[in-house]
Structure 1
Amino acid sequence: MSGAALRIDTNSPVPPYEQIRAQLAALISTGRLAEGERLPTVRQLAADLGLATGTVARSYRELEAASLIRTRRGAGTRVAPLPAGTHRPGRAELAALAQRFAAEARALGANDAEVEAAIREALRG
C-alpha cells in the first residue's frame, strides 16, 4: 500500500485524520486492501501525505478500535480479518443508495452531468 493511494483534501471541512480513516476503511471493507496486507508505518504515511505523525496515528487508532487493522511490535500494522457479520452491499442496495444520492443532488439543483461528476470524484477520492 502506498500513500499515493490516499488523498487528503486540505480544503475539506473533514479533518485529515478522518479522511485517512474513511479512505482506509473503505479500501479494507471493499477488499482493495486484503487481509494481512501491511500498511505503511505512521511516520512513513505521514511523510507521504505531508501530515503530522499524530494525525496518521489517530487514524490508525480509530481503525484499530474498529477492528479493521492490527498493530503488533515487530510485525507492523496489517489489515485485520473483517469482523464477523460484515455486510457487503448487493446490487439492489447500491442502486437504492445511488438513487437516493441522485434524488438529493437534483433537489439541490444539480443536473445529471454534475451528479455523475460528483460520483466519479468520490470514487477517485
Structure 2
Amino acid sequence: MNAMDVMMRRWRLDTESSVPPFEQIRLRILDLASAGDLAVGTKLPSVRSLATDLGVAANTVARAYRELEQAGVVVTAGRSGTAIASGGDVIAAQVASAAEAFAAVVRDLGMPAAQALRIVTAALDRS
C-alpha cells in the first residue's frame, strides 16, 4: 500500500470544520507518522498529486508539508520529494510530556477526567 492509500484510508477533509484544510492535512500526516502507519523513509505524494486528490490548492498542501518539515516530521529533498523523517518520535515525546503535565494539573485540582477531556477537545477544535 502506498503513502497516498494510507493517508486517504477512511479519511477526508472536513469542509465543515473550523480547522483549516492545511492543518487537517498536517495533523493527518502527523498522526500516521506517530502511529507508525507511515514509516520512516516513506515517500509522501507530491504536493500537486495530494492537492488534486483532496480538491484543494497546491499551496494548501505545500503549507502542511512546510510546517511538518519545520517540526522535523518530514524531510524534503528537492525533486526527490518529501518523506517521513525519524523526527516523528520526538514530536510524540513532546506531546506525551505535555499530556503528563496537563494530567498532573487535572489530578492536583481534582477535576474529573471526563471534564478535562472535554476542555482539551474544545481547545483542539478551536486551534
TM-score normalized by the length of structure 2: 0.67
How far apart in 2 are the matches of 1:68 and 1:79? 6
Deviation at 1:39, TM superposition (A): 0.3
RMSD: 2.7
Instruction: Point out where structure 2 has 5 or more consecutive residues left out of the alignment.
Output: 104-111, 120-127
* Aligned with 2:32 (options 22, 27, 32): 27
How far apart in 1 are the matches of 2:65 and 2:118? 36
Identity rate of aligned residues, in percent?
A: 45
Provide Cα deviations, 1:61-97, integer angstroms capped at 9, x if missing partner: 00000010011123211000126755285xxx7xx7x
Is 2:83 aligned against 1:78?
Answer: yes
TM-score normalized by the length of structure 1: 0.68
Count of residues in Structure 1 that have an aligned counterpart in Structure 2: 100
Structure in which a larger fraction of residues adopt helix = 2
Instruction: Point out where structure 1 has 5 or more consecutive residues left out of the alignment.
Output: 108-125
How far apart in 2 are the matches of 1:7 and 1:104? 28
Equivalent pair of 1:29/1:82 in contact (CA under 8 Å): no
The equivalent residue for 1:9 is 14
Change over 3 Å in CA distance of 1:83–1:30 after alignment to 2: closer
